[in-house]
Amino acid sequence: MTSNICLLLVLIPTIFAWDNLVGYKVNDATQALYLRLQSKQGTHIISGQFDHYSDIQSITGKEPAIRGFDLQNYSPHNPWHDDWSSWDDGTIQTAINWYQSTNKHGIVQIQWHWFSPTGGNLKTSTFYTDQTNFDVTKAVIEGTEEHKATLRDIDAIAVQLKRLRDQGIPVLFRPLHEAGGKWFWWGAKGGKATISLYKILFNRINVNHGINNLIWVWSTPEEDYYPGKSYVDIVGYDSYPGAYNYDCNFNMYMHYQQLIGTTKLVALTENGPIPDIDSCFSSGARWNFFMGWSDLTTQQQNDQAHLKKSYSNSKTLNLYKI
């Protein structure tokens, strides 16, 4: 009976009121983007892609509506510089240029593969738990060196987010992703520490820096990692079922509905294979958007016929259609 009720709620989401955005004094452009996303829930799915964006265009003749970018190289303790310094790899300017080139139709998504604030070795990817000795449980304790380094890093990232804000660009901001997998240092010590870190980040970005152009996206499904509805606008699942597996992840969609109710948008915040769009809608797994992950989507886990079919589906909203 419970599953039948949940399915009914999935199929008729428009009768429910959506939560307000959780950020502090969110600006009009960001509010408008949120309304655009809400207006498509249940009737369409919005296309998105990380990296290899032009490959999607070449294969399908369509442009994804959402384009993903990563802040990893802006991390102040960057192991890919011999002096551990951060560097501007052009990501933010590329995001600005792309958004402006779409006449403000495109949607910018930002994530942060956060190189650990201290620890690790040069030439290693220190956002991975097994590549650093940085302890997130110490990072959330005021006065520790780990906490000071954490605040330094957040402040550095705030500088980049302000560049987007100052250009009038609303952002889907997805920090601390996949925390429940524990393969990233921010999730390695369990949900309590991750939630504490997330709230430090959330409050510093909102209160200390006054950054008001963010829609906050949370993407790990474990209940004990969920920060709570007052800190999250969109929940998402990073879906990698295996090459050419176009399953809709209905059970995961229902899990999120039961975790958060029907007042938050639910999305595929990363995916290898794009799920079969028609099957998703007929089953009730009506994800708000999908985000293809790099060349896994364009070359390794979807055949070209499926990519073309997915992007040509009448329920798929590409750039200039949302």
Residues 1-45 have pLDDT tens digits of 444 444 444 444 444 589 999 999 999 999 999 999 999 999 999
Catalytic residue among 142, 145, 146, 178: 178
Catalytic residue among 145, 222, 223, 270: 270
Q: Strand, coil or helix: what is 317?
A: strand
**Could you say which DSSP state residue 80 is in?**
T
Strand partners, 49: 67, 292
pLDDT at res. 15: 47
Give how far the C-alpha of residue 19 lies from the chain's centroid of Cα atoms, to the nearest Å: 18
**Which tens digits make up the pLDDT trace of 169-180?**
999 999 999 999
**Which tens digits make up the pLDDT trace of 187-202?**
999 999 999 999 999 9
pLDDT at res. 136: 98
Within 138-248, strands assigned E span 171-174, 214-218, 234-239
Active-site residue flag, 178: yes
10 Å CB burial of residue 99 (0-12, 13-18, 19+) is: buried
pLDDT at res. 16: 55
What is the rounded CA–CA span in Å between residue 170 and residue 13? Answer: 24
pLDDT at res. 159: 98
pLDDT at res. 261: 84
**Which tens digits make up the pLDDT trace of 74-127?**
999 999 999 999 999 999 999 999 999 999 999 999 999 999 999 999 999 999
pTM: 0.94
Cα–Cα distances (Å) from 289 to 166, 194, 220, 267, 270, in that order, read 26, 25, 16, 5, 10
Which value, in Å, is the radius of gyration of the alpha carbons in the chain?
19
What is the rounded CA–CA span in Å between residue 159 and residue 166? Answer: 11
Cβ atoms of 151 and 77 closer than 8 Å: no
Q: What is the DSSP string of 199-231?
A: HHHHHIIIIIT----EEEEE----GGG---TTS
Active-site residue flag, 270: yes
Residue 181 φ then ψ, to 5° = -75, -20
**Which tens digits make up the pLDDT trace of 43-82?**
999 999 999 999 999 999 999 999 999 999 999 999 999 9
pLDDT > 60? residue 225: yes
Across the chain, mean pLDDT equals 94
